[in-house]
Amino acid sequence: MIAQTLFLLIVIAAVALFTINVRKIIRNINLGRPENRSDRPAERLITMLKVAFGQTKMVKRPVAAILHFFVYAGFIIINLEVLEIIIDGLFGTHRIFSSFLGGGYNFLIGSFEVLAVLVLVGVIAFFARRNFLKLKRFSGTEMTKWPRSDANNILIIEMLLMTAFLIMNSAEYAFIKTHGSVAYASLYGHDPAGTFGSISPTLSSLFSGFSASSLFYIERYAWWFHIIGILAFLNYLPYSKHFHIILAFPNTYYSKLQPKGEFTDMQSVTNEVKAMLDPSYIPLPVAEGSRFGAKDVQDLTWKNLMEAYTCTECGRCTSVCPANITGKLLSPRKIMMDTRDRMEEVGRNIDKHGKDHTDGKALLDDYISREEIWACTTCNACTEACPVNIDPLAIIMELRRFSVMEEAQAPASLNAMLSNVENNGAPWKYSPADRFNWATNN
Amino acid sequence: MDKFTIPTMAEMAAKGEEPEILFWVGCAGSFDERAQKITRDICKILHHVGIKYAVLGTEESCTGDPAKRAGNEFLFQMQAMTNIQILDGYNIKKIVTGCPHCFNTIKNEYPGLGGNYDVIHHSQLIQQLIDEGKLRAEGGESFKGKKITFHDPCYLGRGNGVYEAPRKALEILDAELVEMKRCKSNGLCCGAGGAQMFKEPEKGVKDINIERIDEALALEPAIIASGCPFCMTMLSDGVKNYNKEQEVKVLDIAEITARANGL
């Protein structure tokens, strides 16, 4: 009874803390401007099923895709086991699913164990790749101390969780095989549900010669470690890049569905331009007080901000960015990480000082420099590479718009180009009257 | 060019006629000497297959693409709305462009401002003509066995998913087509997009066009093909950087098609 009460309290605390933190993330995302991304629901659903569930964009790097698939499948399927553990923990039962699944239960646990081993293979390979292979993709200016340790924390926690799961099963297997049901019932207080597993029969040989009470404590300790570990990991997610395991789904659902080459149109500008060209034009309503483009996170849309929380810092975007490849400061991954860092800073300010507090800082200049935004070729390699359809280019464009339309600050040569377009109808300084000369001066 | 004159919309409208298709030349195609050759070759192809077409001539103006990518939405929309007035004034329905940037802008960004047209890039027109049997590769220069690699312009490929049309134009040449490792959706930008064409690059260790040309030259091609006047400039500069202009030609899909047909 004490164990059950303790378990209940731990679950309640974990869920409550998680809810508080997720609500903060939702609040932060809603700091963004409104944007309708609910049209074409069927197409959105298909995109989500393909890109998030089906992981179709991961396969561009096949080795990483297979390893990631192990971890992903393990994560989704082993959650069924977590459900059983929670029921057992709350009601004091043991392996409750075995009572109504019969022979299917052995298959279930057997599959979980295979998945657990595959997850272990995946995370160990990922850990080695990050720490020993020194891939360029995992370094870079934005990969400072926290992002690096965040990545390792996740991998280590996953290793520990899977190890605990396998130890738990194999210790119990060893107990029943070596000490029998009578000894089991006297320590556990109930009969064993049976022996299960595909990997644990082999692993149980590690425990040969262990006493009944040792095996009992190993199994119980592993059980508690596993479930508390999972609840702790759940609460680590909101602070981590690993939050992508949740947001990948809504983020792909709300993907940009237009061709990549199509950039957003600005209704606020359309109103002014139409009024200039046609004095009788009645402007459509636009959000009040909003500036052109974005200086800070509140000027971006909620979708831009959701994407910042979705980014898992894999760096596929940066590794294909032509500017980054040729040594420029721009890194699309940094754009997303900066947006998230700034958004969390704004969120903390709201928590501490209330909604109207300003700290005098902004996303542009304090986080992302002008040099970065002007190095972009708008080639869409980053958006193509992102396995969860994040669009760093959209943020870069909003920062450029602010820079040009609110501050008139563009590189001098671009200002020259813009004035040529305005005065000559071409980006170069040619007379519009000469535009058709190509037809005659052959 | 003495063989035929280029029909303008103004002349056609004066005669009470309408073209099947409007050829949107673009600023580079109008003013850049290298791109003017491509423009004339597109006209030669249109003339050769007998499509009734016209150009806007001096009535054409920048689509606003570089202004939009540089963040000046005002200027973009001013350009767009002025162009839409002209296009609609001539009752234009179908447009072929000589530039992927014009193609993308008119096709995707004009509808939101009231300009709705059926827009194709010239590589798509060439593909259609080949599919319809109106265009072959005969009567001109032979490309048989020549090694050709195609550089995907970002606003044609990734931007709009057009990967096969330009390759189709090359396939009929009986040439040896080789792909760079970074091709199609993984294609590497030439370095000109996003208004980079009109400014110096930021500080780095290498220019993007050199990174791209290194990859192309590693295949030892006779021809690097593309379909964009800005890619043309960047890739040609890259080839010049290595003094390889004699061995490696940078050509537009339209130029290759025109040459193969002796136009």
| DSSP symbols for A425-438 | SSSSS--GGGTTGG
Q: Answer yes or no: do A435 and B60 touch at CB < 8 A.
A: yes
Q: ipTM for the complex?
A: 0.96
Q: What is the pLDDT of residues B160-192, one digit of tens each?
A: 999 999 999 999 999 999 999 999 999 999 999
**A interface test, pick of B62, B63, B88, B213 with most A CB neighbours within 10 Å:** B62
Q: Answer yes or no: do A326 and B207 touch at CB < 8 A.
A: yes
DSSP B110: S
Q: How far apart are CA B98 and CA B88, in angstroms?
A: 20
Helix, strand, coil distribution of chain B in percent, nearest 5: 45, 10, 40
**B interface test, pick of A56, A377, A389 with most B CB neighbours within 10 Å:** A377
DSSP string across A149-181: HHHHHHHHHHHHHHHHHHHHHHHHHHHHHHHHH
On the question of pLDDT at A15 being above 90, the answer is yes
Mean pLDDT value of segment B35-62: 97
Chain B residues within 8 A of A395 when measuring between CB atoms: none
DSSP string across A232-300: HHHHHGGGSGGGHHHHHHHHHHT---S-TTPPPP-HHHHHHHHHHH-TT--PPP--TTPPSS-SSGGGS
Q: Answer yes or no: do B158 and A384 touch at CB < 8 A.
A: yes
Range(s) for CATH 1.10.1060 in chain A?
Answer: 266-410
Q: Tokens 């898992």 appear where?
A: A312
Show Cβ contacts of residue B116 under 8 Å, excluding neighbours closer than 6 positions.
B110
Q: What is the pLDDT of residue A45?
A: 98
Q: How far apart are CA A424 and CA A419, in angstroms?
A: 8
Mean pLDDT value of segment A127-138: 91
Q: With contact defined as beta carbons under 8 Å apart, do B119 and B97 qualify?
A: yes
Confidence of residue A287 (pLDDT cuts 50, 70, 90): low
Mean pLDDT value of segment A326-339: 98
Q: What is the pLDDT of residue A80?
A: 86
Mean pLDDT value of segment A403-424: 96
Chain A residues within 8 A of B27 when measuring between CB atoms: 425-428
Confidence of residue B2 (pLDDT cuts 50, 70, 90): very low
Q: Answer yes or no: do B72 and A432 touch at CB < 8 A.
A: no
On the question of pLDDT at B225 being above 60, the answer is yes
Using alpha carbons, list the distances in angstroms from residue A221 to A75, A205, A213, A229, B204: 22, 19, 12, 12, 55
Q: What is the pLDDT of residue B1?
A: 43
DSSP string across A289-353: TPPSS-SSGGGSBHHHHHHHHH-----HHHHH-HHHHTT-S--HHHHHHHHHHHHHHHHHHHHHH
Confidence of residue B82 (pLDDT cuts 50, 70, 90): very high
Q: What is the pLDDT of residues A235-278, one digit of tens each?
A: 999 999 999 999 999 999 999 999 999 999 998 899 888 888 88
**A interface test, pick of B32, B74, B185 with most A CB neighbours within 10 Å:** B74
Residue among A357, A373, A376, A378 nearest A298 (CA): A357
Give, for B191, the enclosing helix (H) or strand (E): none
Q: What is the pLDDT of residue B3?
A: 67
> A2-30+61-252 adopts what CATH topology?
Fumarate Reductase Cytochrome B subunit (1.20.950)
Residue among A428, A427, A403 nearest B67 (CA): A427
A283 or A164, which is more confident? A164
Confidence of residue B235 (pLDDT cuts 50, 70, 90): very high
Range(s) for CATH 1.20.950 in chain A?
Answer: 2-30+61-252
Domain spanning A266-410: which CATH class is it, in words?
mainly alpha
Give me the torsion for CA of A59, A65, B211, A327, rounded to 10°.
140
Domains in chain B, CATH or no CATH each: 9-127 (3.40.50), 136-260 (3.40.50)
Mean pLDDT value of segment A304-310: 98
Q: What is the pLDDT of residue A157?
A: 96
Q: Answer yes or no: do A432 and B161 touch at CB < 8 A.
A: no
Residue among B15, B108, B12 nearest B57 (CA): B12
Q: What is the pLDDT of residues A139-155, one digit of tens each?
A: 889 999 999 999 999 99
Q: Answer yes or no: do A377 and B188 touch at CB < 8 A.
A: no
Residues of B numbered 17-36 whose beta carbons fall under 8 angstroms of chain A's beta carbons: which are they?
Answer: 25, 27, 29-31, 36
Q: What is the pLDDT of residue A77?
A: 85
What is the average pLDDT score of chain B? 96
Confidence of residue A75 (pLDDT cuts 50, 70, 90): confident
Q: What share of chain A has pLDDT > 90, as a percent? A: 88
Backbone angles phi, psi at A395, to 5 degrees: -70, -45
